Amino acid sequence: MKERNKFSKWFRSLQTRSSLALLITAAIFVQLSGAIQYFYARNGIRKAVQQQARTEIQVRNLEIQNVVTNVETAVNNMQLILNWSVDNPEGIYGVLETIIRTNPTITGCAIAFEPGYYPDKGRWFEPFAGRDENGNIVHRQIGSQEHDYFNAEWYKVSRETDSASWTEPYFDDAGSKALVCSYTMPVYDSKGRRAGTFCSDVSLDFIIDLFGAKNSAYTYLASRTGHLIASPDKTSVMNATLDDVANYFNDSMIDRVNAAMLAGDSGDAELHSKDGEKSYIFYAPVEGNTGWSMAIIYPDKEIYQGVRSVGRILLILTLVGFGFLIYIMWRTVRGFKKLQAVNAEKERIGGELRIASGIQMGMLPKTFPPYPDRDEVTMAGTLVPAKEVGGDLYDFYIRDEKLFFCVGDVSGKGVPASLVMAVTRSLFRTVSSHEDSPERVMKQMNNAMSEMNESSMFVTLFIGVLDLHTGRVLYCNAGHNPPVLIGKETRFIEQDSNIPVGLMPAWDYTLQDGQMESGDLLFLYTDGLTEAENTVHGQFGEERMMERLRSLGHTPHAVVDGMTEAVHTFVADAEPSDDLTMLAIQFVHPIEENEGRKSEGGGRSITLQNDVQQVPQLAAFVEEVAEGVGLNPSTAMSLNLAMEEAVVNVMNYAYPAGTQGDIDITACKTKGMLTFTITDSGTPFDPTAKSDPDITLAAEDRPIGGLGIMLVRQLMDEVLYERKDNQNILTLKKKI
Amino acid sequence: MNTKITEQNNELVAQFEGRLDTAAAPQTEKELAPLADCAGKNIVLDCNALEYISSSGLRLFLGVLKGAKAKGSHVYITGMNDDIRNVFNMTGLTNLFEFR
């Protein structure tokens, strides 16, 4: 059932049907050309048969004529001697024997004398000479009452015509004792009186032999009265007539043919037997005065048997061929189907890969510059996978005025690498959202990835955190290519050796730091750049990279675009061997940018002790900053209030009672934003963790505390707390 | 920061002048001590000359209010500038005090 379904499915398919149609058309053409061939072959054969029939008739005609003429000539030549012998009866036998001896065609000969011609010989006198069984020539008198030749047809005819002629075939019971045809000739005595009839017998066996069954043709000879003298069927000789032939055929044509034969005409005709079988008859008279006519019948079946059997073989061969073709076609279509299925699968995978590629690319920040409203940082990046999906990654985002960024390269390529890449990128985002220090981010990522790393894939990763206020870069490098700092000089940044992420849990990654001066560029990349190969497997190399970096323009875009072009030029037509990733980060110091406007309040700082009595100094500082950036008194007062509340909070809670400590306060203005940073080295204390007091309570129930931080929150636009390097850092921001 | 307490029309009037910030709060708190003895008298907090107040100051005001209420006295605030009134609004103190 299943097989059948498969077949019907196969049969319904377009390819099958179209190929089948093609096949059928071809079959029709082949058969048509076969039919045409057959038709022409038949015609050709028909013509050949006609020709053959004519030739055969001619040949037999000649043979018969040969016999006939021999006999006639011999007999005619003997006429004078025969006439002479009439007058010399004692020489008759000698003459007759001579005739037999010299004419092998003549089986016997006799002179049938007129009744009582020689009175002493009686009424019947017919001297005869012939051959016995042994071929010896013998003679005897055969005329008698029993052999009353006067009533024989030939005798009568001879007397009537009084000329030489051929008799109808008859059985000579006295002389030759065989089926014979005789040539008769009148014999005269010296006085010119008719003495008798010379009769020379020709055995029909001789002629019959000529008409023996030869191939399939049926040849027969008819006498002038329509008796069959010779035919392949010896029994019909003398017993059958042309009428019997006519009876065999159920066709009026045979009557016409018979009439024509009797009239001594020649021609051919198409006949149909009673069984409906077709035959062709060719007929012609035998030359001379025998009055015989010859016919040859070819059964249609026999004529075309050859061409028919060839046609049949051809048909069978064609059918077998077509069967074979159908089988081949079926196999081909099935193969094609399989190929199609494979292609469809490939297409599907290709489609999914394209989607995967889209998803993967969607994970990366792609808009450059990413922070158009920020002056401190400009960036450019690119990631070109060698295959649809790749194992390279880069990512960055800003949190708490710090740029978190990373560049990584997963071992391997393709889909497996891309999965690890996605995991790496998610982990980076997740871990770095609550962890500021790159080495701790790295450590957590490494622990997470080592635990689930069953396929032993690893990632070389560089994580950096750039303080957008100061240009300080904290970084951790887990086996990744060292980034290049492009500043006063162009050099690799220092790197500790740390193992790649995912290899070994609990590895202690080391933290490093560096300082980016305003305008400095940090260039990160993967080995897809340094190991890019050209057609002769030469590598792009670090030297070439450094050389290019020194000569390229001094903006992230110029660096990334210039390097991309350099790689493309180098690689030329070679297949990309690895994913190619580049990320360039340029830092511009916000304070330096505002250097000319320092009086506006950017980048000021003050250090207070944990003593609330220093609040007036704070007030003076804030006032100065506010004045510097040109704030109105109301806003200045709000800032003052917020700062006082925040700082007093720190003073009261960060340092245990009785201990002394410093509180650093910096203010800086960036575009549209005034930022105060309050830093202390006291015990961890997060003022933002406090919840606001319920201000709907009656005076009696209102707690005295908690108002300060509430005011800070309401007065400032952003309040951030972080604990870092054993310091409490509280950042207050106010849009201006 | 100066604080001066006078009695006018059977009301205790506290006049504030300057900045009432955290640094000034302890001193001011001492100076406001007489207000505790307010039985039968209402209290007026005169803020015409008050330039600034932080939560420490607010706490003092709240303390005065609590003390007065316990003795059945009213506390009126007068002469607040817009900035200070805004601070009162933000902290919900506007609902507790009476204003003149």
Per residue in A599-649, pLDDT (tens digit) is: 333 468 888 888 888 888 999 899 888 888 888 888 899 999 999 999 988
Same domain, A598 and A588: no
Q: CATH code at A603?
A: 3.30.565.10
pLDDT bracket for residue A7 (50, 70, 90): low
B72 touches chain A (CB under 8 A): no
Nearest CB among B22, B62, B63 relative to A612 is that of B22
- Total domains present in chain A: 4
Task: State yes or no: pLDDT of A200 exceeds 70.
Answer: yes
pLDDT in tens, A475-533: 999 999 999 999 888 899 998 888 999 888 888 999 998 989 888 999 999 988 888 88
Is residue A334, in this structure, part of any structural domain at all? no
Is residue A477, in this structure, part of any structural domain at all? yes
Cβ A593 vs Cβ A518: under 8 Å: yes
Instruction: Give Cβ neighbours of residue A209 (< 8 Å, ≥ 6 apart).
Output: none
Same domain, A498 and A461: yes
Closest-CA distance of chain A to residue B43, Å: 15
Is residue A682, in this structure, part of any structural domain at all? yes
Peptide bond into A369 cis (omega under 30): yes
- Name B18's bridge partners: B50
Instruction: Give Cβ neighbours of residue A186 (< 8 Å, ≥ 6 apart).
Output: A158, A159, A162, A163, A164, A194, A196, A197, A198
User: In A, which residues are within 8 Å of B69 by CB distance?
Assistant: 699-700
Averaged over A666-693, what is the pLDDT? 83
Closest-CA distance of chain B to residue A716, Å: 13
Of A159, A183, A201, which residue constitutes the final position of a domain?
A: A201
Same domain, A614 and A580: no
Q: Where are the alpha helices (DSSP H) in A572-632?
A: 590-593, 615-628
Task: State yes or no: pLDDT of A597 exceeds 50.
Answer: no
Q: Note the pLDDT of residue A395.
A: 93
B55 touches chain A (CB under 8 A): yes
Is residue A141, in this structure, part of any structural domain at all? yes
Same domain, A193 and A244: no
Of A201, A230, A257, which residue constitutes the final position of a domain?
A: A201
Least confident interval from A232-241, A445-454, A537-546, A583-592: A232-241
- Exposure string (b/e) for A348-387, b if CB count within 10 Å is 16 or more? eeeeebeebbeebeeebeeebebbeebebbbbbbbbbbbb
Q: Note the pLDDT of residue B31.
A: 92
User: Between the CA of residue A437 and those of A510, A558, A722, what are the distances in Å?
Assistant: 10, 30, 12
Same domain, A403 and A479: yes
User: In A, which residues are within 8 Å of B92 by CB distance?
Assistant: 695-696
User: Between the CA of residue A537 and those of A316, A531, A575, A576, A647, what are the distances in Å?
Assistant: 63, 10, 10, 11, 63
The most confident of A65-69, A311-315, A427-431, A687-691, by mean pLDDT:
A427-431
Helix (H), strand (E) at residue A7: helix A2-12
Strand A392-399, strand A662-670: pairing:
unpaired
3 state DSSP class of A573:
coil
Domains and CATH numbers, chain B: 2-99 (3.30.750.24)
Q: Note the pLDDT of residue A602.
A: 45
Same domain, A246 and A157: no
User: In A, which residues are within 8 Å of B63 by CB distance?
Assistant: 704
Flag if A640 and B52 touch (Cβ within 8 Å): yes
Return phi, psi of residue A379, to 5°. Answer: -140, 160
pLDDT in tens, A351-400: 888 888 888 888 888 888 888 878 788 999 998 888 777 788 999 999 88
Is residue A6, in this structure, part of any structural domain at all? no
CA separation for the pair A402, A467 (Å, rounded):
5
CA separation for the pair A200, A603 (Å, rounded):
162
CA separation for the pair A440, A343 (Å, rounded):
48
Closest-CA distance of chain B to residue A617, Å: 10
What is the DSSP secondary structure assignment for residue A514, as one 8-state letter?
E
CA separation for the pair A388, A133 (Å, rounded):
112
Average pLDDT, chain A: 84
Strand A267-272, strand A278-285: pairing:
antiparallel
User: In B, which residues are within 8 Å of A613 by CB distance?
Assistant: 23
Closest chain B residue to the Cα of A651, Cα to Cα: B22
3 state DSSP class of A434:
coil
Task: State yes or no: pLDDT of B77 exceeds 90.
Answer: yes
Comparing A180 with A12, which gets the higher pLDDT? Answer: A180
Count of A-B CB contacts under 8 Å:
65
| Helix, strand, coil abundance in chain A, percent, nearest 5 | 45, 25, 30
Interface probe for A, chosen from B19, B22, B64 (most Cβ of A below 10 Å), is B22
CA separation for the pair A199, A130 (Å, rounded):
12
Instruction: Count other Cβ atoms within 10 Å, centred on residue A629.
Output: 19
Q: Residue A434's closest CA among A161, A234, A721, A76?
A: A721
Cβ A298 vs Cβ A216: under 8 Å: yes
- Type of residue numbered B75: V
B90 touches chain A (CB under 8 A): yes
Helix axis angle, A79-87 to A92-102, nearest 10°: 160
Instruction: Domain of residue A524: give its range.
Output: 367-592
B19 touches chain A (CB under 8 A): yes
Flag if A700 and B87 touch (Cβ within 8 Å): no
**Residue A507 CA neighbour count, 13 Å, CB half:** 27
User: In A, which residues are within 8 Å of B56 by CB distance?
Assistant: 648
Of A201, A233, A256, which residue constitutes the final position of a domain?
A: A201
Same domain, A552 and A616: no
Q: Note the pLDDT of residue A601.
A: 39
Same domain, A379 and A507: yes
Cβ A234 vs Cβ A178: under 8 Å: no
User: In A, which residues are within 8 Å of B82 by CB distance?
Assistant: 634
pLDDT in tens, B9-53: 889 999 999 999 988 999 999 999 888 888 888 999 999 999 999
Q: Note the pLDDT of residue A599.
A: 35
Cβ A394 vs Cβ A406: under 8 Å: yes
Q: Note the pLDDT of residue A705.
A: 66
Closest chain A residue to the Cα of B27, Cα to Cα: A613
Task: State yes or no: pLDDT of A336 exceeds 60.
Answer: yes
Q: CATH code at A215?
A: 3.30.450.20
Closest chain A residue to the Cα of B64, Cα to Cα: A699
Q: How far is CA A636 from the centre of its chain?
A: 82
CA separation for the pair A97, A95 (Å, rounded):
5
Q: Note the pLDDT of residue A702.
A: 67
Closest-CA distance of chain A to residue B23, Å: 5
Task: State yes or no: pLDDT of A11 exceeds 70.
Answer: no
pLDDT bracket for residue A464 (50, 70, 90): very high
Same domain, A407 and A463: yes
pLDDT in tens, A392-439: 899 999 988 899 999 999 987 778 888 888 889 999 999 999 888 999
Q: Note the pLDDT of residue A592.
A: 47
Nearest CB among B23, B65, B82 relative to A699 is that of B65
User: In B, which residues are within 8 Å of A695 by CB distance?
Assistant: 91-93, 95
Q: What is the pTM of this model?
A: 0.42
Same domain, A540 and A651: no
Cβ A613 vs Cβ B23: under 8 Å: yes
Closest-CA distance of chain B to residue A457, Å: 56
Is A703 buried (19+), middle (13-18) or exposed (0-12) by CB count in 10 A?
exposed
Question: HEC string of A388-420?
Answer: CCCCEEEEEEEECCEEEEEEEEECCCHHHHHHH
Which residues of A sit within 8 Å Cβ distance of B? 612-616, 619, 633-634, 637-638, 640-641, 644-645, 648, 695-696, 698-700, 702, 704-705, 707-708, 710-711, 714-715
Flag if A710 and B87 touch (Cβ within 8 Å): no
Is residue A9, in this structure, part of any structural domain at all? no
Is residue A465, in this structure, part of any structural domain at all? yes
Closest-CA distance of chain B to residue A665, Å: 18
Angle (CA) A398 A401 A404, round 5°: 40
Is residue A337, in this structure, part of any structural domain at all? no
Q: Residue A111's closest CA among A140, A69, A151?
A: A140
Same domain, A547 and A625: no
Task: State yes or no: pLDDT of A595 exceeds 70.
Answer: no
pLDDT in tens, A684-711: 888 887 777 777 777 666 666 678 888 8
Q: Note the pLDDT of residue A279.
A: 83
Comparing A305 with A665, which gets the higher pLDDT? Answer: A665
Same domain, A704 and A676: yes
End-to-end Cα, chain B, rounded Å: 23
Flag if A613 and B21 touch (Cβ within 8 Å): no
Interface probe for B, chosen from A611, A613, A634, A637 (most Cβ of B below 10 Å), is A637
